[in-house]
Structure 1
């Protein structure tokens, strides 16, 4: 899609520079000359090495581990761009941290997802692009435009190419039914639902299975895999209910310890993830397949700059 790239600049922090480079390569531009590091006392240091006055800035920075360091990099980069007279500042945050703290479930709890939204806006961000928010209503925490992208087209295209027989898409909980339905529609498969309860944070118990998985290839779809406890318990339950094979997929692979060990020891044959969060060497596994969202995000950036519909990208 031809368009003038002369007025745009892409910056990246240290959260996922590989993804930023892939996005820039897809669009056909170079990354902006900038240094993002630390002073000796640990404070974040940002130096932009070229003029960005009047430019449309896109900062590629998921707020993955280390969460607070990467969040501060994003905020300080935005502030630097604002003070350098950038025309617009779009924060491309493929993984939005603190999204699971989107409401008060008991007294004296923060709503940290709203706080992060306020921080971004105060720092000078004029638009946000993100992928598969844990709670879609977080878009309403912002008073600036938010483009909420879905990984379903990329994941769906991958699974359609695999031509699995008797595929059934499984939601790991009642809250993920809409996500499962979207993927199921793309791969033309029925859905099943795992009913579970959480007796305490980080602990899940499977109670019931809604739907038919006997003799089928079950594909669990979730937005986040953190410690993988729920995922692996769900996989065991599917096997116990007669599933022939168990596959899994998620957008954001946090993979906190002991997630990799749990997945390797589980009935899950394959976990398909995206590159919203980089996968370090110590978290590699033969069961993992990583799909890149660089082209999809790059196309979104092009459409934002050329004032075209973003949602059209996700209807194909």
Structure 2
């Protein structure tokens, strides 16, 4: 089947980089809105019998980008696409993978059901907030990781005094994997979340005094967890030279101001979501275009994209 790559409106720069990596021309589609705010999607590209890949990262505005993806999938199906795969580097609602109080919805499962109902055959995503989210889908999920790409960059900047730090228990496995790749010790910050953007630290497990911390997490949203962790590390005697590593840097709400106040050497992240060209923080971005391109090539060959 002929390969067709199309991008929604959420991340056109990554879409262009992926098309270049694959050596294909981006598929043509038109996306706008009706006067009442409804999305209007039209697939111009001939996709009948084709192997279609739709790139749409679900960063802010999340619900708008999600609806756009659903309409793109349905349009491709109705035009006779042979197979439709969604490339969703950042999968929103992944933090809603369980019910804490019994009074909230299971958002990750609901979104997975909506995507399946649109007619999608398969989804490719990157560093889900929780691996358990894969279980919400009743279609094939290719769960990629940017950790090897980020670790490769870190190898060039770590020192013998570096320590990998998990800013909370949820990031522990990720920190252990980075530590194994870089042959560095691990520390863990124990926190209690008091609100959606406020965090209180209890204590730190691991020797961090005099060390240069490298905090690793899957995502940064408001940066409340990172801010609290860095403050606790400095109080514990860490060097005031902090590196933060995250696959998804949403940088919403008070995140930029919080990061500006920290002794931040660098924020190392990927281009899983777009962001302004100029930010008042030392931001370094590793592209995931080659990772996505390799996954597509592996899937085309009938192999796992991992």
- TM-score normalised by the chain length of structure 1: 0.94
Matched with 2:190 is: 195
The partner residue of 1:15 within 10, 17, 34 is 10
Of 111-120 and 197-206, deviating more is 197-206
Is structure 2 residue 276 aligned with structure 1 residue 280?
yes
Following superposition, the deviation at residue 22 of structure 1 comes to 0.6
Is 2:142–2:304's contact at 8 Å kept on the other side of the alignment?
Answer: no
Following superposition, the deviation at residue 281 of structure 1 comes to 4.3
Matched with 2:171 is: 176
Is structure 2 residue 67 aligned with structure 1 residue 72?
yes
Q: Deviations over 1:240-274 (max 9, x none)?
A: 11112221111111111211011011122211111
Matched with 1:263 is: 259
The partner residue of 1:294 within 269, 289, 293 is 289
Matched with 2:160 is: 165
Q: Deviations over 1:180-236 (max 9, x none)?
A: 111111111111100111133322111110001112111000111111111011111
CA distance in 1 between partners of 2:302 and 2:162 (Å): 39
Matched with 1:3 is: none
Determine helix, strand or coil for the equivalent of 2:16: helix
Long gaps (5+) in structure 2: none
The partner residue of 2:245 within 238, 244, 249 is 249
RMSD of Structure 2 on Structure 1 (CA): 1.2
CA distance in 2 between partners of 1:183 and 1:310 (Å): 21
Determine helix, strand or coil for the equivalent of 1:86: coil
CA distance in 2 between partners of 1:72 and 1:206 (Å): 37
Determine helix, strand or coil for the equivalent of 2:264: coil
Task: Kindly report which structure 2 residues correspond to 1:1-316, keeping only aligned pairs within 5 A, or say none.
Answer: 7-244=2-239, 245-281=241-277, 284-311=279-306
CA distance in 1 between partners of 2:118 and 2:41 (Å): 14
Following superposition, the deviation at residue 67 of structure 1 comes to 0.6
Is 1:94–1:130's contact at 8 Å kept on the other side of the alignment?
Answer: yes
Following superposition, the deviation at residue 89 of structure 1 comes to 0.7
Determine helix, strand or coil for the equivalent of 2:194: strand
CA distance in 2 between partners of 1:65 and 1:148 (Å): 21
Determine helix, strand or coil for the equivalent of 2:64: helix
Following superposition, the deviation at residue 85 of structure 1 comes to 1.1
- TM-score normalised by the chain length of structure 2: 0.97
CA distance in 2 between partners of 1:18 and 1:175 (Å): 31
CA distance in 2 between partners of 1:195 and 1:80 (Å): 47
CA distance in 2 between partners of 1:268 and 1:196 (Å): 21
CA distance in 2 between partners of 1:287 and 1:55 (Å): 42
The ranges of structure 1 where at least 4 consecutive aligned residues each deviate by more than 4 angstroms after the TM superposition are none
CA distance in 2 between partners of 1:228 and 1:214 (Å): 23
